[in-house]
Amino acid sequence: MKKKVFAEGLCWKKLFIIYVIGSIFGCYYEQILNFVRHLIRNGDIFWEARRGVIYGPFSPIYGAGAVIMCYLLLRKKLSNAQVFLYSALIGGGFEYLISFCQEVFTHTKSWDYSGKFLNIDGRTTIPFMLVWGLLGFLIVKVVYPFLSKQIEKIPYEIGEKCFVVLLIFMCLNMFVSWTAIIRQSLRRDGVPPYTILDKVYDKYYTDERLARAFPNMRFK
pLDDT of residue 43: 84
**10-residue stretch averages of pLDDT, the chain, 220 residues long:** 87 96 94 90 85 95 94 93 96 94 89 92 95 94 96 96 97 96 93 94 95 88
CA dihedral angle for residue 143, residue 147, residue 148, residue 149, rounded to 10 degrees: 120
Q: Which residues contact 157 (CB under 8 A, 6 or more apart)?
A: none
pLDDT of residue 1: 63
Residue boundaries of the structural domains of the chain: 12-219
* 39 CB neighbour count, 10 Å cutoff: 12
Helix (H/G/I), strand (E/B), else coil: 125: strand
| Alpha helix stretches (DSSP H) within the chain | 12-42, 60-73, 80-106, 126-138, 144-152, 156-188, 196-204, 207-213
